[in-house]
Amino acid sequence: MTDHILPKRVYYTIFGILMLGTYLTVQIAFFDLGRLNTVVALTIAVIKATLVVLFFMHVKYSTRLTWAVVLGSIFWLGIMFVLTMSDYLTRAWLTYG
């Protein structure tokens, strides 16, 4: 397995983007975007997390197996959320009387 050594400037660049993302998250929170507030906040969080995973954790240069573990964990989390929500979001659909 080749050990990819990233140049330091990559780390500094990602750090900069993460700082920018943090700043944006806080600023946008103070504007009323209705339901979009949560969507935007989570989108920025997902982008930040993705950058940490790809570059700080070197996943971009890792084996397929590592990718499988990362994607698998997200997928399984998704199963837990989606199927549980299938209960909570549909409870009100059927009302009796």
Binding site for other proteins (CB under 8 A): 1, 3, 5-6, 8, 11-12, 15, 18-19, 22, 25-26, 29-33, 37, 41-42, 44-45, 48-49, 52-53, 55-58, 63, 65-66, 69-70, 72-74, 76-77, 79-81, 83-91, 93-94
Nearest distance from C-beta of residue 30 to other proteins, angstroms: 5
List the Cα angle 41/47/52 in 5-degree steps: 125
3-state helix, strand, coil in the chain (%, to 5): 75, 0, 25
Nearest distance from C-beta of residue 40 to other proteins, angstroms: 9
Q: 18: which residues sit within 8 A by CB, 6+ positions away?
A: 48, 51, 52
Nearest distance from C-beta of residue 41 to other proteins, angstroms: 4
Q: Which two tokens stand for residue 56?
A: 């700080």
Nearest distance from C-beta of residue 13 to other proteins, angstroms: 11
C-alpha distances in Å from residue 80, one per residue of 65, 75, 85? 22, 9, 8
Q: Which CB atom, from 93 or from 97, has the smaller least distance to other proteins?
A: 93
